[in-house]
Copies of this chain bind each other. A is one copy, B any other.
Amino acid sequence: MNYVQIYTGKGKGKTTAALGLALRAYGAGLRVLFAQFLKKGDYSEISVLEKLKDRVDIRQYGTGAFFENRPTDEDVEAVRDGLREVNDALSSGNYDLVVLDEANVAIFYKIIDIDEFLEMIKNRHAGVEVVITGRYADEKLIALADLVTEMKEIKHYYRNGVEARKGIEK
């Protein structure tokens, strides 16, 4: 057992599934690190996780501008600094569940080296559950994981002309 879960694919629900897992773990008294790569900002989910800060730590490593563009030097630096912090967190024994949101994307764009990443996962403190999200999960990471779920888009009417509703889409 490697205690590694992956949520990948183009469909919705990857980050929200990880959030749900964080919520469930918190409810059971576990300690959670919720780390987001390539994201920055005041997502609604972040504001509620902040209410659980007695046992949930949140980190964001990125400029938040990546999804519209190529990764900037600033993104790359934020992700790599973040990875060192995550490495420390994973080996510290301070967390029961560590979520690495969008790490798959950072690996896909080679901002994170897959072999270094795998080493970090393998060398972590015993018993830490790791949840990794994002499109394009690497085959080597899939090989390591116990549980891999692909979120598949069956139907998606883009809400053209309808403003994204705070709390629903963002």
Where the two chains meet, the residues of A that have a C-beta atom closer than 8 Å to any C-beta of B are 1, 5, 7-9, 11-21, 23-30, 43-49, 52, 96-97, 129, 142, 145-157, 159, 162, 165-168
Are the CB atoms of B48 and A26 closer together than 8 Å?
Answer: yes
Are the CB atoms of A27 and B154 closer together than 8 Å?
Answer: no
Q: Which residues of B contact A168 (CB under 8 A)?
A: 21, 24-25, 28, 30, 97, 129
Are the CB atoms of B150 and A152 closer together than 8 Å?
Answer: yes
Are the CB atoms of B46 and A167 closer together than 8 Å?
Answer: no
Q: Which residues of B contact A150 (CB under 8 A)?
A: 11, 151-152, 154
Q: Which residues of B contact A152 (CB under 8 A)?
A: 9, 149-152
